[in-house]
Structure 1
Amino acid sequence: MLFGCDFSSAPTARKPIVVAHGGVDGRCVVLQRLDTFATLAAWTEWLARAPAWVGGFDFPFGLPRELVVQLGWPLQWRALMTHYATLSRAEIRTEFAAFCAGRPAGGKFAHRATDGPAGSSPSMKWVNPPVAFMLHAGVPRLLATGACLPGLHVPHEGCERVALEAYPGLLARELIGRRSYKADDRARQTPQRHAARADLLDALVTSGSARLGLRLALEPAQRDILLADAQGDRIDAVLCLLQAAWAASQPAWGLPVSIDPLEGWIVSA
C-alpha cells in the first residue's frame, strides 16, 4: 500500500488527518482514494492494522543536532525520541523558547541540514506551523506500529511498514512557485488561492514534476474534491503521495548517503 499523509497533531472532524492512497502506473501516480481521520487514535489504529505500507508523512522525523546538543538531550535518535515523548507540549515550548531567547534576531531557530534544500520550517517551531508538536504526536505513533524510518530507525530486516518524511511545499514550489494555495482561516480563502490550487493540479496532471519524473492521474470528481478543499489538506496529502512514490522507486529510498542519523531527511530534497 502506498500513501501520502497530511498530518495534524490535534485533528478534528473539521480539520482531520488526510491520507491519499495511490498506485504507480509507469510514470503516473494514480490517486485511488482519500481517507480522513478525526482523531489520533483512529489514525494510529489504521496504521497498525495495515500489514504493509510505504507512506510519506508531512511532519518532521528529527530535531536539529545543534538544538539537541545545547539542551543536553540524547544524541542517539531512538533515545532522543523516547525522551521527547516524555515531555508535555508546555515543557517543549518552554525549552525551545529558552533556546531561542539566547540567540540573535534572524537566527532564533536551529535548523536541520535538510531544511535548506527542502525550504522547510525548522522542526523545533511550535507555532505557525507547530511542527515540533507534530513530531511529538506523530513519531511515537509510527514507532508503536513497528515502522521502519530509513536513515533513522530500522527495527528489523524486511520491515514491511516504511515511513518517509515528506514535505508538500517542496513539490508545490516547483510547480507554482511561492504562490499561496491554501489557508485555514476562512477569511483568507481567496479566489487567488483557489486559482493557485487549480494551476497546481493542472501542472501535476499535465506535465508533472520534473524533479520526481512523475505526474498525477485524477478522475474529474477527484479533481473537484481537491480543488474545493480551501485548507489544502487533501492536495498536501496527494503531494506527499507523489514524494513517497518517487522514494519507493529509488535505491535507499532516495536518501543521501551522508544523512545525519539524528536529524533525518525529507525525501526528494
Structure 2
Amino acid sequence: MPTSATPEIPLLLGLDFSSTPSRRKPVVLACGERRGAIVRLHGLERFAELAALRERLCQEPAWLGGFDLPFGLPRELVQSLGWPQQWPALMDHFCAQPRSELKAQFKAFMAPRPAGGKFAHRACDGPAGASPSMKWVNPPVAWMMHAGVPVLRAAEATFPGLCAGQPARVALEAYPGLLARELIQRRSYKSDDTARQTPERLIARKDLVEALEQGRSRLGLRLKLSHAQRDALVDDASGDALDAVLCLVQAAWASGQPGYGLPKEIDPVEGWIVSA
C-alpha cells in the first residue's frame, strides 16, 4: 500500500476521531490520493492509542488531512471566560486544563443563558450543521479537541488561518456529517449500539458509498474503491471507517481549492470547517 506521496500529489488523510480510543473503539485513519476528479483510497489504519496516531502522523513528511474534531471555540465563550484570543495561546490554555475544570467553566457560562440558547456557537456551525464545539456530551466534541489538537500540534502541522507549522503537513477541520447529509439527507447510517445496527442503516451506508463513487456531491469528486474496500465500508456498522473516508474526500476537495477553500478571513479563535 502506498503510504508516502510526491510533492505534486500529497498524501491525503481523513480521520474519524475519538477522545478516548480503545481496541474496541479505535480512531480510524483513511489514506489516499487525488488524481484529477478521482479520489483513490489506499487503505484504512486503526489506532487504539493516541500516541500511536501521533507517531504515524510524524512519520510522513507531507500530508493534507481532514480531521473530524473541532479546531476552535466560540468567540463569545472565549471572551466571556477571559481566555486568550489568539489560537496558539488559546489552545495552550484550553488543553492544559483538566476536563472537570473546563466543564465547570462551561456550566457557569451557560447557567444564566435562556433555554434553547445555552451553548455558544461558532460562525461555521450553522453552515456545516455541526454541534457547538463546547459540548462535552452527545457528542463530546470539546473533549475531542482537548485530546486531538495536541496530537496534531505534536506533528508540527500547519493549521491554515490559525497557526503555522510544517508547510508540508496541513491539518483541516472536517465534518463527515456535512457531506453525508448532502448525499443521503438525514438518514442515519451508523450506530455504536449493536441493537441499533439495523438493516435500514446498512442500506443507508450502501447508498452513501454508491453516491461517493458516482460523485454526486457538489465537491465534484468520485471515490475509487476496490471491492474489498467497498465491502469494508458498508460492513462497518459503527460508521467509523466511512466517516474517515468522508473526511478524506473533504480533504481531497480542499487540495484543489485556492486557500484550501477556506474563507479569506478566519476568526483566529473559532477556525472553520472545510467545505462549509
Q: TM-score normalized by structure 1? A: 0.97
Q: CA shift at 1:81, angstroms?
A: 0.4
Residue 242, structure 1, aligned to residue 254, structure 2: no
**Tell me, which stretches of 5 or more residues in structure 1 are unaligned?**
none
Structure 2 CA distance, aligned partners of 1:84 and 1:227?
37
- Runs of 4 or more above 2 Å deviation: none
Superposed, 1:95-244 pairs within 5 Å as 95-155=105-165, 159-209=167-217, 211-244=218-251
CA distance in 2, matches of 1:185, 1:103: 33
Distance in 2 between the 1:194 and 1:145 partners? 36
User: Which secondary structure state, in structure 2, belongs to the residue aligned with residue 260 of structure 1?
Assistant: coil
Alignment partner, residue 72 of structure 1: 82
**AA aligned opposite 2:230:** R
Are residues 1:48 and 2:61 paired? no
Shift of 1:98: 1.7
User: Are 2:188 and 2:204, in contact at CA under 8 Å, matched by a contact in 1?
Assistant: yes
Amino acid at match of 1:116: G
- Residue 5 (structure 2) aligns with: none
Instruction: Return the offset for 1:25.
Output: 2.3
Q: What does residue 70 of structure 2 align with?
A: 60
* Structure 2 letter corresponding to 1:230: A
- 2:219 corresponds to which letter in structure 1? L
What secondary structure, in the 3-state scheme, does the structure 1 residue paired with 2:192 have? coil
What secondary structure is seen at the aligned counterpart in 2 of 1:160? strand
2: CA distance, partners of 1:155 / 1:47: 14
Work out the percentage of aligned pairs sharing the same amino acid: 65
Distance in 1, matches of 2:215 and 2:88, equals 40
Q: Deviations over 1:69-94 (max 9, x none)?
A: 00111111111100011101111111
Report the 3-state secondary structure (helix = DSSP H, G, I; strand = E; otherwise coil) of the residue aligned with 1:90: helix
Indicate yes or no: 2:25 matched with 1:18: no
- Deviation for aligned residue 1:27: 0.7
How many equivalent pairs are there? 266
| Partner in structure 1 of residue 46 of structure 2 | 36
SS at match of 1:202: helix
Amino acid at match of 1:205: E
What is the Cα-based RMSD across aligned positions, in Å?
1.0
Equivalent residue letter for 1:146:
E
Following superposition, the deviation at residue 258 of structure 1 comes to 2.6
Give the alignment's TM-score, normalised by structure 2.
0.94
C-alpha distance in 2 between matches for 1:181 and 1:135: 24
* Whole-angstrom distance in 2 between the partners of 1:119 and 1:176: 15
CA contact (8 A) 1:208 1:216 kept: no
Corresponding position of 2:7: none
Q: Provide the C-alpha distance between the structure 2 equivalents of 1:163 and 1:234, rounded to a whole number of angstroms.
A: 19
In the alignment, which residue of structure 2 is the partner of 1:268? 275
Shift in Å at residue 207 of structure 1? 3.4
Contact 2:85-2:268 within 8 A present in 1 as well: no
